[in-house]
Amino acid sequence: MRRRHLLTTAALAAPALALGTGSARAQAFPSRPIRIVVPFAPGGAVDITGRLLAEKLQPILNQQFLVENRGGAGGNLGADVVAKAEKDGHTILLGTATILAANKFLFRRGMPFDAARDFAPVTRVSTGTVLLVVNSQRPWQNFGELIEAARRAPGRLTMGSSGTGTASHLTISAVSRAAGVDITHVPYRGGGPAITDLLSGSIDMMFDVMPALMPHVREGRFRALAVGSADRVDYVPGLENVPGMRELLPQAGIDMQSWYAVTAPAGTPADRIATLHRAILQVVRTDDFRNRLQPLGFKPIWDETPAGFGEYMRAEEQVWERIVAASGATLD
């Protein structure tokens, strides 16, 4: 009788042990290096932020984080790689406001994905505005002089951007429209190549997010003339006296804000999204992350839950739809 009881107990326990082992195996995440897809070329602001995240996340999750640059089509090429990746949390996107909220209005016929449908939101990681800079060898000392030069020579001045449909492109479109000038847009596959050409004098100016521009401003190679936000960016050393759009074009209502965020392929298990969310919040809440971003013009930001970021992203689609419409930009 006792032998039968032991056999029965063992038989009942075996499935439970198997389930427990299987559950532990299923929850072993990450089990291999995590790929962070940066949908722009190396050297730009998104790339800098992605590499900082990778550096900080590795010790938290005890796994390698590998940055992979996939530029092109305003960030759509890299984002589409993630949208179609395996839904296991080992491939994530560091996306931008334009990719996740604006591009659907720029690529109305040619969008390869729908951000709300094809991505699982994790959290935002940083936010900031864009900065207008010129090569310091150019004669324009302020925004007014630059606009006057553009009026005197319609279409002659050139403005580089990190890609068609990016925040830098939409900002110069809005500014040109509000100021009544014609400035030729020169799109690049990421901020890095545009900066290289601005340094060499091949283009006259660029609007871009600040992390990639501020080192050149501080070292005297670029001159900062304006920020794309309504108000000044007084938390960035060296930009306290650089005017915002409310001062320069008070009737235009321009207030360009750019945020970066992490998403995974839709269908990624919720527990893996939660693991990524917890780890990323550990990074972005640190003083070190803040201290490394702020001098470059960005501030850390995060969403308390992935669902909360999903709601924010849907609301931002409406904001960016208006920005795109006002700029007249289209990529179809």
The tens place of each residue's pLDDT in the chain, 332 residues long, gives 444 444 444 444 444 434 344 443 456 899 999 999 999 989 877 898 999 999 999 999 999 999 999 998 889 999 999 999 999 999 999 999 989 999 999 988 889 999 999 999 999 999 889 999 999 999 999 999 999 999 999 999 999 988 777 788 889 888 998 999 999 999 888 788 999 999 999 999 999 878 789 889 999 999 999 999 999 998 888 899 999 999 999 998 888 888 999 999 999 999 999 999 999 999 999 999 998 888 778 889 999 999 999 999 999 998 889 888 877 778 77
CATH code of the region 131-248: 3.40.190.10
Query: What residues contact residue 330 under an 8 Å CB cut-off, 6+ apart?
Result: 106, 108
- Domain ranges in the chain are 34-128+258-327, 131-248
- Long-range own/partner contacts, residues 151-157 (CB < 8 A, 24 or more apart): 151/180, 151/181, 154/181, 154/182, 155/182, 155/183, 155/184, 156/184, 157/183, 157/184, 157/204, 157/205
- Say how far apart CA 210 and CA 207 lie, in whole Å: 9
At 261, the amino acid letter reads A
**3-class state of residue 183 by DSSP:** coil
Does the fold of domain 131-248 match that of domain 34-128+258-327?
Answer: yes
The reported pTM is 0.76
In the 8-state DSSP scheme, what is residue 294?
G
- For the segment(s) 34-128+258-327, the CATH number from 1.10.1060.10, 3.40.190.150, 3.40.640.10, 3.10.270.10 is 3.40.190.150
